[in-house]
Amino acid sequence: MTNKIEFKNYSLFYSDAQVLDDVSLAVPANQVLVVFGPAGGGKSGLLRSINRMAELEPNERHTGDVCIDGRSVFDPQVDVAALRRRAPMVFTQPIPLPMSIYENVVYGLRLNGVRDRRVLDETVERALRDATLWDEVKDRLDSSALALSGGQQQRLGIARALALDPEVLLLDTPTAALDPITTARIEELVVTLRERYTIVVVPHSIQQAMRIADVAAFMLQGKLIEFGPSNQIFLSPRDDRTERYITGRFG
């Protein structure tokens, strides 16, 4: 199994604050990596480093490397915008853009210059189907996305990302703002999407992590404490701190 994403001794700083400290891990392709740990551990920073969203923070510095398919994302020849289209992100708060559902889904494609109406139509249907939203909205694609429920908006966010036909999906606590039923649907969705994409998720809770992970990484104050297949991490963690966090002794 090839490694889709690799972190090599990667450290991240926002001004003087160190967000990540010498992280090294490798994510195999078509697997769900769950990055969990207490608040402030650097989980979001890890995600944002994969698609170079971290550098949008003021005074960002990093050392070490992050690679996708063996090639550094910081390579000067890399087109950052194209990189982000390969690894789009879905955020905690569903953020529909103030446009129609249709326009939201094709937003990324339009940025890329795609104008052919047929291609756009097909993409919209494919992405919304994959995000399990198609049946609910197929009759009102031109209505405002702001009118959707929270769960629908979040699935719209996923559809937006899928529309780009990416290779990697980055999900930052995607279900934190949603009710349990919708959360379950999205978790199902993530598990089915694994067949086609490599997914990195920051979970909302330990239970969610256990439900969807193939591999897991425990982060504490910017350091990678433990990393491995989910069975091993959750059922027989090697590090004491991992075990204490999982059993709820701190968090």
Partner 1 sequence: MAYSQQTARGDYAVQRVAFGCIWVAAIVTIAVLVLIIGVILGRGLPSVSWEFLVGSPQDMGRAGGIFSTIVGTVVVGVLALLIAAPLGVGTAIYLTEYTVESRLTRAVRFGTESLAGVPSIIFGLFGFIFFVTYLGLGWSVLAGSLTLALMVLPTIIRVAEESIRTVPRGYRDVSYSLGATRWQMVTTAVLPSALPGIVTGIILAFGRAVSETAVVIFTAGTALNLPTSLLAPTRTMAVHFYILAVEGISLPNAYATGAVLILTILLINVGANALLHRLTRQRTRR
- Contact positions toward partner 1, by CB under 8 A? 51, 53, 56, 58, 81-82, 84-85, 88-91, 93, 95, 97-98, 107-108, 110-112, 143-144, 146-147, 157, 160-161, 164, 170
Q: Cβ of residue 232: shortest distance to partner 1, in angstroms? A: 31
Picking from 148, 97, 156, 149, the residue whose alpha carbon sits closest to that of residue 131 is 156
**Which helix (DSSP H) or strand (DSSP E) does residue 43 occupy?**
helix 43-50
Q: 53 or 124: whose CB is closer to partner 1?
A: 53
Q: 162 or 210: whose CB is closer to partner 1?
A: 162
The 3-state DSSP class for residue 156 equals: helix
Q: Cβ of residue 84: shortest distance to partner 1, in angstroms? A: 5
Q: Cα(218)–Cα(118) distance, rounded to whole angstroms? A: 44
Q: Cβ of residue 131: shortest distance to partner 1, in angstroms? A: 14
Q: 107 or 134: whose CB is closer to partner 1?
A: 107
Q: Cα(184)–Cα(204) distance, rounded to whole angstroms? A: 12
Encoded amino acid at 190, one letter: V
Q: 147 or 235: whose CB is closer to partner 1?
A: 147
Q: Cβ of residue 162: shortest distance to partner 1, in angstroms? A: 11
Q: Cβ of residue 210: shortest distance to partner 1, in angstroms? A: 27
Question: Rounded to 5 degrees, what are φ and ψ at 198?
Answer: -95, 130
DSSP 148: S
Do 151 and 158 contact (CB within 8 A), yes or no? no
The 3-state DSSP class for residue 96 equals: coil
CA dihedral in degrees (244, 180, 216, 63; nearest 10)? -100
Q: 12 or 246: whose CB is closer to partner 1?
A: 12
Q: Cβ of residue 48: shortest distance to partner 1, in angstroms? A: 9
Q: Cα(249)–Cα(247) distance, rounded to whole angstroms? A: 6
Q: 41 or 108: whose CB is closer to partner 1?
A: 108
